[in-house]
Structure formats: C-alpha cells, structure tokens
Structure 1
C-alpha cells in the first residue's frame, strides 16, 4: 500500500510540474542597471487576437503626460531600445516608455493584419488601446513607417507627437495628406544616410508642424551610431511638447 501511495504522489507531482510548465506565466520582470539608471523593464504580450510582445518601463519619477511608443527597423526589435538605454533614460525623465515587437519580429508572431495598410494601422491602434497608452509620441525608424504612417494619416489626432527616423512608405501618401497632419513632428536622420533618409525627407517636409535634426557622421540607424545625440534631440522634443 505504501508503494501505491508513493506512486500516486509521484504521479501527482509530475502532473503539477507539467501544468505549471504549460501555463502562460506572468509578464517577465528583469532588473536593469545601465548608464547608471536602476529601473525595472517589464515584458509581456498584449491581449489582442494578434498578440504583440512589448517591453516597457514605468517612470521612476512623476509621470509626464506624453507616453513614448518605440517601433523598430527591419534588423531590430524592442530589445534594441533596452540595450541602447532609451527605455531607461525615458523612465528617469518621467516618461512612460513602451517598445513593441512588430508582427513577425522578435517575440511577436506574424499577423494577417500586417499584409494591408489598413490592417497595420488597426493593429497599431489596438496595441495602444490594449496597453492603455494615451497622448502617445510615436517613434518610427525605417521599416516601421509602414505601420506608423498609415496610423498617422487616419489617427493623428490621437498622437501627442511623431518622431520619424528615415521611415519607409512615405511615397504612399500625397503632399495634401501630409499637410493635413498637425501633429508636432521631429524628423531625425543620419548625415550619411543618402538613400531612405533623403527620400523620406522630400515627403516629411510637407508636415506643417515639424523640425529637423541631422545627426552628423551617422548612417541609417543613426540612433545606434550617435545614441547620445539622438537621446538629447528626442528628450528636447518631448520636453517642449505643448
């Protein structure tokens, strides 16, 4: 009888372990110490049908009104902004910052919505809603322009600010469409980016409420080449938003 009870107990323990491993866990929490800032980076999945992975830091000072949403380019993901110290720096300055993995990148699964312009705009709108982001400032490098620009054109009234960094897809919109967007905009690009930066500038200049910052001796991913200059420009823009 004792062997029978021991076997049952062992079987029960195995089932508990299997259930624990199979169940989704709470958002990951990892303490980060970077550039002298001791903050906690949270990671998790949005609740939408097409679940999107995100990282965020809560402000370690009193929260400011603007909330910064960081997208990414083709060769990157949300972790780029953690490794660069951008999430941590924004937290120290009192901004809530969220970095997301676009569908098919990082820890986000591919999504059928991403196949169309309207689908990409709706997906981004839903992600912001799921994460309770308000007064968003959207930072959009390179590839992420295919998400940020459709969103900007249809939902720019929801944005507090827009920071395009040589985004793709600018040719998909007319001069009149850009004129209609009143969102405060900081156009950032690297001095050595002679292709996409130059192409996007031709269209982004039609945004009526914009300023331009060129980062010297920086290429397409200018935020990686000149992170301090990038952070200074971004923080100055955020701090002076109405």
Structure 2
C-alpha cells in the first residue's frame, strides 16, 4: 500500500475513534429518563442542601423515620367533606367576620387541630384545591383553613400590631386546642408573633409549627432558642429568596428540622403537593403520637 493510502487509513481510524469517544461522553453526561425524577417522591425524605441546616437540626426530638401515606387515605373522600363557615372573632373589642373552610374527621375522636394559613397571592381555597383539608380529616385530624383578614372572602382587616393576637382570638373562636399551625409566606406576619412574642410558652398555644418559607423570620432570631416547639421547616428547592432566608433564621429553633420540596418554588405546597402531603402526614402523625 502506498504511503498516502496508509495516511488515509490512519486518518479514518482517528476520526472513528473520535466519534466513538464523543458518543460515550454524551451518553455519560445525558440527564437520563425524566421518569427517574419521580423516585424523589418515594425515597426517604431527607433535608437537602444547606449544610448548616443539617448540622443544627440533628437534635429535633420529634423526628423519626418517615413512611408513605397509606393508600386508603389517599383515595377516600371528596370535597363534600369541607364546609364553609363564617366565624365571629372578637379582637380589641371589635367583632370580625372571618371566612373559613373546615373539614372534620369522621367519628367522635379528633387527634389534632390543624390551622392552615396562606400567602399573599392565595386564600384558603388553595388548601381545598390540592386536597389537603380532606386528607388531613381522613387522617383523623380537624382541618381549618382561614381567609386571613383582608384576603379572599374575609373583608374585615386588622392592623399589623394585632396580627399575632388575631390568631389567638381566631383559635379561641374556633374552639381549637393547641393547633398545629401551617404557615406559608405572608402568613408568617401572623403566625410568628402568635408563637414567638412569648417564645417560652409557644407550646402552650400550639403543638407544632410547619412554616413554608414565611416572611418576617428575622424579627425573632434572638428568641428562637427559648422555644422548644416542634418545627418542620419547609421550603421549595427553587425558592432562592425567602426559602433560603427563612431556613437560615428558623433553624435557630432548637427542636426544628428542615426539608426541601423538590421541583418547587416559593409556594412549594402548591408546586409539589404530593411531596408536601407526605411531609405533612408524617409530621402530624408524629406530633399526635406524643401527647
């Protein structure tokens, strides 16, 4: 074979080897089947990212291994279980009409009272739409979602200094006993003063706190250490503003543990309700078991 022919063959071999190497690299770096993302919902729920959160939350007394929601709780019941109720709340000598959505468990026994608040762009209807109220009632708890003053179907308002007292008055009007408080975003301006204006006695007012990237968390950083209230800190994987800020502050609560909701932004419970419901189910199950 002529020298030119040998050079051509060598060039072909080099080109083939290059193409093969390129295909191999692409294969190894390719993200894979999108269906694999669904495994996030069945793997054990663990806190992710935020190394500080992992280290400071190991002592959470309430935490134990999480389980999946039983199939019968996921499949039973419809929206007819939820009732719309206007509640009269007395605050600072004034009577306020507060719109609520309520779901009561079947049977005579109620394990927990659970109070659902909402963010600025949302209302109690969101908890109805994603099935949270019915699910919580099927688990044996009383679920109440409220349109906070000035939002949704509640036209009466309250001034900022009275927001914490309003939650206390609402709990009294609803005849709830130390409700677990679920508080996303804007509602932190209500739930945080309710719990932490007097941090030492927060557990006298609530059996557990589930904040979802709430506002105003920096207000109470100096007193969080005085409260032992069981707290499940929740934030969306894609929430890089309030999610990160709230975690940084709330992790100072001694009995807290953080959990990130995958594929979710600021309203994490709406973006990924399946994952959020698993978190909520386990938190309520654990709290109810420790009376």
Q: TM-score, normalised by structure 2?
A: 0.68
CA contact (8 A) 2:208 2:231 kept: yes
Per-residue displacement from partner, 1:42-63 (whole Å, max 9, x unpaired)?
1121112122110100112553
Residue in structure 2 matched with residue 162 of structure 1 by the alignment: 209
Residue in structure 2 matched with residue 234 of structure 1 by the alignment: 280
1:193 alignment partner, SS class: coil
Counterpart among 134, 138, 154 of residue 88 in structure 1: 134
Counterpart among 88, 94, 98 of residue 47 in structure 1: 88
- The answer to whether residue 77 in structure 2 is matched with residue 37 in structure 1 is yes
CA contact (8 A) 2:234 2:261 kept: yes
Residue in structure 2 matched with residue 22 of structure 1 by the alignment: none
Q: CA deviation at 1:35?
A: 5.4
Counterpart among 184, 190, 211 of residue 147 in structure 1: 190
- The answer to whether residue 176 in structure 2 is matched with residue 130 in structure 1 is no
CA contact (8 A) 1:56 1:98 kept: yes
1:127 alignment partner, SS class: helix
Q: CA deviation at 1:65?
A: 2.7
Residue in structure 1 matched with residue 12 of structure 2 by the alignment: none
In 1: Cα distance, 2:238 partner to 2:107 partner: 36
CA contact (8 A) 1:61 1:91 kept: no
Residue in structure 2 matched with residue 29 of structure 1 by the alignment: none
- The within-5 A match list for 1:174-185 is 174-175=221-222, 177-185=223-231
Per-residue displacement from partner, 1:106-155 (whole Å, max 9, x unpaired)?
111132x3332xx1111110111000011310000000000000001136
Structure 1: tracts of 5 or more residues without a match: 1-33
1:240 alignment partner, SS class: helix
More strand by share: 1
In 2: Cα distance, 1:135 partner to 1:115 partner: 23
1:144 alignment partner, SS class: helix
1:186 alignment partner, SS class: strand
In 2: Cα distance, 1:134 partner to 1:163 partner: 16
Higher normalized contact order (CA 8 Å, seq sep 6+, divided by chain length): 2
CA contact (8 A) 1:140 1:164 kept: yes
Counterpart among 154, 158, 164 of residue 108 in structure 1: 154
In 1: Cα distance, 2:159 partner to 2:115 partner: 18
In 2: Cα distance, 1:69 partner to 1:151 partner: 13
Q: TM-score, normalised by structure 1?
A: 0.81
Moved over 2 A (4+): 60-65
CA contact (8 A) 1:61 1:92 kept: no
Counterpart among 201, 209, 212 of residue 247 in structure 2: 201
Per-residue displacement from partner, 1:140-178 (whole Å, max 9, x unpaired)?
000000000000113612100000000000111233x11
Structure 2: tracts of 5 or more residues without a match: 1-73, 90-94
In 2: Cα distance, 1:152 partner to 1:211 partner: 17
Counterpart among 82, 93, 115 of residue 69 in structure 1: 115
CA contact (8 A) 2:116 2:183 kept: yes
2:207 alignment partner, SS class: strand
